[in-house]
Amino acid sequence: MNAVFFALVIVSFGFATWGQLTGNGAGMQALSQAMIDSAAGAVELAVGLIGVMALFLGLMKVAEAGGLLTIIARLISPLMSRLFPEVPPDHPAMGAMILNLSANALGLGNAATPFGIRAMQELDRLNTKPGVATDPMVLFLAINTSSVTLLPTGVIALRASAGSQDPAGILPTTLVATMAATAAAILAAKLYRSFTPFAATPALPETTHNTPTPDSKSADRINAPVPNTGEPYPLWVSMLALGTLAGLIPLTIFFGQALSPWIIPLLFVGFLTFGWLRRVAVYEAFVEGAKDGFWVAVRIIPYLVAILAALGMLRASGALAALVHLLGPLTETVGLPAQALPMALLRPLSGSGAYGILASIIQDPAIGPDSYTGYLVSTLQGSTETTFYVLAVYFGAVQIRRIRHALAAALTADLTGICAAVAICSYLYR
């Protein structure tokens, strides 16, 4: 992200310098004003996001306290044992992987990362060749960067704060895109492994890995014992749940316009009812989750200021207009507006950067959250993961130097997710 951020600033400065010297474009005054306005707008955006983020994370805390994470883990456990035959079903690695994917499905990124790192640590205990990624490691990473997302709560919250009339309208498009990406991840990981056999590499001197680390609360969860999810449901129950999930796709496609006004109220009532029936103190749990939502919205302010200032410079300098003019005719033919192209390119590189681009696009009065482009970039944010960040953090946690086909499988899943997002958004909203 350092290189991307620096490149955006330098390109913007170069274009503005050319405009200042030739008089054929924006000058330094426009660049300066854009930087200040974008920084102020980033803070205003984060403040407006606080309430909605607190609402959704409060609901997710009620669901988590009621055991919804465990229920989903028990549902996918039989499927996971068949996807990962090399990992014993009772091994801690299996439990950590199941909990990680379950948390991702519910949009609980703060819980997913510690479980994911713990899963890699446990998988490394089964590794006979330290420093080389095993087949289960690669498959887990590929699935993790594309895992099925049932509730993209963060994106829904951002769309709501941007004034969307249908903030939950991305649920069907996100579901289609993530299911396609996950299927591609599994197939790619299984197929590409024949091109990168699991072989030892010469020993390398120990190095210090400067990879991002979770906060202290996350570190405690990583080092804690993996929670017991209980006995897995029978395979037929898991297949029935998977079939029901797949059946939701045509239902949401054909009846999405009629169902979308009901989604957020039903989520609110449904999660509170679920927590109440599971004997959760729903008010206290909701407030605890809302506190997390408040601090999440506050913590993203520096990232939003950085990326929105850089994007404001890019727009004011004329560089973005030049990019749109150059690539627009080509990308428009496949349903990808040039305005959305930076989002598609940056999403695998930086979650905060892509989040900033998403905010910039749907806050633009000329585009808005409920336009085709608004739906597309929202779907891209909700249905794909920050691939390079996940690879760096998870492999860095266990000192993996040879990642084999992990990057190729993850990028295949990313490309499939982008294509699926374009296809479903074109069908529903174009």
Mean of the pLDDT values across residues 156-160?
84
Q: Given pLDDT bands bounded at 50, 70 and 90, which one contains residue 205?
A: very low
Query: pLDDT tens digits for 241-274?
Result: 777 766 766 666 666 556 666 767 887 888 899 8
Q: Looking at residue 25, what is its pLDDT? A: 67
Q: Looking at residue 254, what is its pLDDT? A: 65
Query: pLDDT tens digits for 385-404?
Result: 778 777 877 888 788 888 88
- On the question of pLDDT at 226 being above 60, the answer is no
Q: Looking at residue 216, what is its pLDDT? A: 46
CA 42 vs CA 12, 31, 33, 34, 55: distances in Å = 19, 16, 14, 12, 20
Better-predicted residue by pLDDT, 74 or 408: 408
d(CA 389, CA 386): 5
Q: Given pLDDT bands bounded at 50, 70 and 90, which one contains residue 373?
A: very high
Q: Looking at residue 210, what is its pLDDT? A: 42
- On the question of pLDDT at 78 being above 70, the answer is yes
Mean of the pLDDT values across residues 102-110?
69
Q: Residues 297, 12: contact at Cβ < 8 Å?
A: no
Q: Given pLDDT bands bounded at 50, 70 and 90, which one contains residue 209?
A: very low
Q: Looking at residue 206, what is its pLDDT? A: 39
Q: Looking at residue 136, what is its pLDDT? A: 93
Q: At what angle do helices 387-397 and 135-144 cross, to 10 degrees?
A: 140
Say which residue the tokens 């913590």 belong to: 299
Mean of the pLDDT values across residues 55-74?
78
Q: Looking at residue 218, what is its pLDDT? A: 45
Q: Looking at residue 276, what is its pLDDT? A: 92
CA 119 vs CA 15, 92, 93: distances in Å = 46, 8, 5
Say which residue the tokens 């690539």 belong to: 327
Mean of the pLDDT values across residues 117-130?
87
Q: Looking at residue 203, what is its pLDDT? A: 40
Residue boundaries of the structural domains of the chain: 45-200+209-429
Query: pLDDT tens digits for 276-331?
Result: 998 899 999 999 888 877 886 777 678 678 777 887 787 788 777 777 677 777 77
Reduced to 3 DSSP states, what percent helix, strand and coil does the chain have, rounded to the nearest 5? 75, 0, 25
Q: Looking at residue 187, what is its pLDDT? A: 95
Q: Looking at residue 372, what is its pLDDT? A: 93
Most confident of 60-64, 244-248, 251-255, 358-362: 358-362
Q: Given pLDDT bands bounded at 50, 70 and 90, which one contains residue 185?
A: very high
